[in-house]
Amino acid sequence: MLSFESDYIEGAHPKILECLERTNMLQLTGYGMDELCDSAKNRIRAVCGTPEADVFLLSGGTQTNQLVISSLLQSYEGVIAAETGHVNVHEAGAIEYSGHKVLALPSHNGRLCPKEVKNYLSAFHADQNNEHMVFPGMVYISFPTELGTLYSKQELTELHSVCAEYGIPLYIDGARLGYGLASRAADLTLREFASLCDVFYIGGTKVGALIGEALVIPKGDAPKHFTTLIKQHGAMLAKGRIIGAQFEALFTDGLYMQLGRHAIEMAEKLKALFKEKGYRFFIDSPTNQQFFIMDDQRISELAKLVAFSFWEKVDDTHSAVRFVTSWATKEESIVELSKYL
């Protein structure tokens, strides 16, 4: 069945499988200390324009978020996130499990408002009773957000500057970073992006890889003994090469950005199709997650022919649904979908 259910329904881009095969019988050191991982990390440093960066290759998004947040925060600190932020709603309490509160601020279509963050920080530090409260110790955002939206360069600059003012890091969850940077609406490059935050990760799993997220700490100021922290969180693979190979392939010959562009092209076609068919947008998303409003009966009929996600009820007879494209989406699939709409 035709599927627009998510951006992780297929396996890996063929070049990744090729890399795995080509390097398969090399005898490499364990725990990510091997040449393949080194090479992948250097490619990432180069493309980000951050030669000093610490780079760590991890398995998944929740793991990365939990590790970064709990390692960078002091015990008395929490992390500011949008109410809709992944860490606040869909990570089964992984942040709290590691001891820290998610300090939820209003979501503006998935985004935090820099001014509201500033006001929150300013009010917190003015409060004479704040010793009895959770200290805001980091700002977490996702790019693109969980609703497909993006921050502008201006907004990132403001957020980063608010964070700097209060001496706390800005951490960006880039699970779908490739799709964000490739969007027509994005007004910044990966290099600019890397210079506008303190920690971020480049999502592999949703952008062509089978597994893997590359954590980048641009200034090279990772917490002491971060490798031990990775081990302690159960996040270290004996054969680190499996993630090394993914990023080696993704960052050779511009593959990562190319996959991003393909998904965005497909998303634009999808968007045009729904517009043409007269559907309303639930959110005007410029990335690979698209949200439309549909009649509930239409939804149940369509669901027999195409896989997609229910998002939320909009009114008594309508709901929002999500259609997702990816590096693997074929143009034929959109043509086929057009027949059903």
Residue from 40, 50, 54, 61 in contact with a copy of itself (CB under 8 A): 61
Per-residue binder mask for a copy of itself (CB under 8 A), 193-212, x = binder: ------------xx---xx-
Identify residues 95-114 at the interface with a copy of itself (CB under 8 A): 96-102, 104
303 near a copy of itself, judged by CB under 8 A:
no
Strand runs labelled E in 154-313: 170-174, 199-203, 213-217, 280-283, 289-295, 306-307, 309-313
Q: CA-to-CA distance for 135 and 152, rounded, in angstroms?
A: 27
Q: CA-to-CA distance for 249 and 43, rounded, in angstroms?
A: 10
Q: How far is the CB of 137 from a copy of itself (least distance, A)?
A: 10
Residue from 42, 189, 195, 227 in contact with a copy of itself (CB under 8 A): 227
Q: How far is the CB of 287 from a copy of itself (least distance, A)?
A: 17
Tokens for 225, please give them: 């003994």
135 near a copy of itself, judged by CB under 8 A:
yes
11 near a copy of itself, judged by CB under 8 A:
yes
24 near a copy of itself, judged by CB under 8 A:
yes
74 near a copy of itself, judged by CB under 8 A:
yes
The answer to whether 111 touches 152, Cβ cutoff 8 Å, is no
Q: How far is the CB of 195 from a copy of itself (least distance, A)?
A: 28
Tokens for 274, please give them: 């729904």
The answer to whether 270 touches 336, Cβ cutoff 8 Å, is no
# residues near a copy of itself by CB under 8 A: 77
Residues 6+ apart with CB under 8 A from 143: 150, 151, 156, 172, 173, 174, 177, 180, 193, 200
Residue from 32, 78, 148, 178 in contact with a copy of itself (CB under 8 A): 78
10 near a copy of itself, judged by CB under 8 A:
yes
Helix 331-340, helix 255-276: angle, nearest 10: 20
233 near a copy of itself, judged by CB under 8 A:
yes
Nearer to a copy of itself, 30 or 220 (CB): 30
Identify residues 29-48 at the interface with a copy of itself (CB under 8 A): 29-30
Nearer to a copy of itself, 200 or 327 (CB): 327
Residue from 15, 28, 153, 192 in contact with a copy of itself (CB under 8 A): 28
Q: CA-to-CA distance for 68 and 198, rounded, in angstroms?
A: 11
224 near a copy of itself, judged by CB under 8 A:
yes
Nearer to a copy of itself, 65 or 149 (CB): 65
242 near a copy of itself, judged by CB under 8 A:
yes
66 near a copy of itself, judged by CB under 8 A:
yes
Q: CA-to-CA distance for 251 and 45, rounded, in angstroms?
A: 10
Q: How far is the CB of 93 from a copy of itself (least distance, A)?
A: 4
Q: CA-to-CA distance for 108 and 75, rounded, in angstroms?
A: 29
Q: CA-to-CA distance for 338 and 269, rounded, in angstroms?
A: 10
DSSP bridge pairs for 307: 3
297 near a copy of itself, judged by CB under 8 A:
no
- C-alpha distances in angstroms, 5 versus 182, 291, 307, 311? 20, 12, 5, 11
